[in-house]
A = this chain, B = another copy of it.
């Protein structure tokens, strides 16, 4: 009945709008999400989206401006793909399939949608395009499709003009739009307040190019006054620049702003071609936003035939002592070096280089003892003396270790203990150089038994003039993932473009950074709400290598750094659940873990791959509680994390197996715990629980909780 009413509403609305030439509507399988496509006067394609009778996207125009190619024949004018269209047909269809991710939050994922494909012709240019909408119960995605045709064989996108017209001055959880970084603190404000906050929101970064006083990044989370959660992002970003959103803050209309190339064009297209999906996730239940698989579903199925070598991984690494402790990545203190020329055996070591054989052995021993599978070592390779900020092209060779890092021995030693080393490839943004060395670098990894690499793109890009998220750089990142797959190597790329669900297609892309990670806790700190907004925003596209587990939150307890982690100790444990990733670091120093060994037990125990996940409660930038069932076991783990205001959770254990008992260990903030005043107060409680029991847990300010539920046999 509700559906019928809705249909009348839509019809009435369309009727009221006299300029509509042609309209098509498609609903989600549950009928709650309704997408209407219409050609408006002048042949302008538009769409609108409603959820349970509420407006999500007001009628918004679609289209692309094209650039005239200098190579175009004389007299050949370019016609924008903005208007003058007629509909030549449309098709509505349904799809329902369940697939198994190689790794993920659940063992299976249902991909269920209704689809509307609209075929358009622009008589003035004789060109045909299509717009395809897929409507899910939790939102929709659409993309432009360009079939191969004589009149549209190659073209240049000068400006994609996709609009998302909001129905009001929503609350937005946003970071500044920037072509080069995503490492900004999330701002919480009304849309109308973005302009006023932009200047302070743009904090300094190693590479940054903000583009507009009202420009924001995807994935953008919003909440409406009437209780809708709306997320704008994109899916399947392949061979196209990353999308940002520029806000008309008088009318609350976002328009796409793609990352341009050095000469100002956005994309170079050869047909047949489909753009990435522009996605709108919507719900009136914040938990469903987190449980959404819409973006994964809009990506192509796995393209790797053999995925047996891909595995979720817990790891530690030689990293925090540099990031927080100020130790150097470099082996020497010389002013500058020349790869292939500087003779490192003849320079004076600085004596404080942590990526040395003895120290790495210590980490290997620690990993082996605690069930961590890998040890990341940063600073192992030559070139760190002057790696950043000098526009160095040939900055690293990715194969030559510093003299104090015994590559062969350390790998052998690690393997003898059942541990692997994790490779590190910082590129310094010099992608040309990385590609020149990549094959040799991956071959070296294969030779010594590395199967995972953390790569990095700190600083401005080379080729000079390119931005981090341009079409060319997007292609680079995927090129790396594909080449790595040929070598059976998993990739965790930092400072690369934000993920858009490509891990479905290339599951060796096990992680990205693409947001402020834990490292910022050593640079003044992340806001306490940071980790309870990221799952709504950054994590929609794919997992983040957030590197949690800093149990010694007061850095000055072991080094001179006066920053502190803006969570309680227990809050750090919670992140292994609330920040889903197949790659989870235990990022603190071994000696810090020894000091909190009982709390560290949770990190030892927790899984990083799951058969099931239940979001128990959630509110953006306030709190998230999730229960997850460890892959291939009957064990569950629960994590809860909150903002600076604390939170009380009531967790009904109705997801446990009937009749089974579980050894329950609760890691809770202790009395008086507070991320600022008393971060290390924690209480560990053990008991036996069963289905139907209820846990009542209190999270401190900036705190959380972590629970393990081991099924008794």
Contacts and interface: CB of A to CB of B under 8 A. Distances in A.
Contacts of A154: 336, 386, 390-392
Contacts of A263: 262, 464-465
Interface stretch (A294-302, A313-321, A432-440): A432-440
Contacts of A365: none
Nearest to A239: B393
Interface string A71-97: 100000000000000000000000000
Interface string A400-437: 00000000000000000000000000000000100110
A336 B153 contact: yes
Interface string A292-336: 000000000000000000000000000000000000000000011
A392 B71 contact: no
Interface string A267-304: 01011000000000000000000000000000000000
A596 interface: no
Given A335-B150, A463-B463, A464-B472, A156 B391 contact: yes
B464 A153 contact: no
A393 B268 contact: yes
A625 B392 CA distance: 48
Interface in A330-383: 335-336, 338
B432 A336 contact: no
B391 A464 contact: no
* Overall SS of chain A's interface: loop
A495 interface: no
Nearest to A336: B153
Nearest to A464: B261
Contacts of A336: 148, 153-154, 270-271
Nearest to A465: B262
A472 B463 contact: yes
Interface in A419-478: 432, 435-436, 439, 459-460, 462-466, 472, 475
A99 interface: no
A247 B394 CA distance: 35
A154, A459, A464, A466, most chain B CB atoms within 10 A:
A464
A268 B439 contact: no
B465 A261 contact: yes
Given A335-B148, A436-B435, A391 B69 contact: yes
Interface string A244-271: 0000000000000000011101001011
B270 A338 contact: yes
Nearest to A149: B335
A464 B267 CA distance: 11
A336 B272 CA distance: 10
A196 interface: no
A315 B196 CA distance: 70
A227 interface: no
A389 interface: yes
A268 B391 contact: yes
B393 A262 contact: no
Interface string A501-517: 00000000000000000
A479 interface: yes
Given A270-B338, A463-B466, A475 B393 contact: yes
A162 B263 CA distance: 29
A178 B228 CA distance: 58
Nearest to A440: B439
30 contacts: A69-B389, A69-B391, A70-B460, A71-B389, A71-B390, A148-B336, A150-B335, A153-B335, A153-B336, A153-B386, A154-B386, A154-B390, A154-B391, A156-B391, A261-B464, A261-B465, A262-B263, A262-B464, A268-B391, A270-B386, A393-B472, A393-B475, A432-B435, A435-B435, A435-B436, A439-B439, A463-B463, A463-B466, A463-B472, A464-B472
Given A70-B460, A148-B336, A154-B336, 19 more contacts: A71-B389, A71-B390, A153-B335, A153-B336, A153-B386, A154-B391, A154-B392, A156-B391, A262-B263, A262-B464, A265-B464, A268-B464, A270-B336, A270-B338, A270-B386, A270-B390, A435-B436, A462-B472, A463-B472
Interface of A: 69-71, 148, 150, 153-154, 156, 261-263, 265, 268, 270-271, 335-336, 338, 386, 388-393, 432, 435-436, 439, 459-460, 462-466, 472, 475, 479
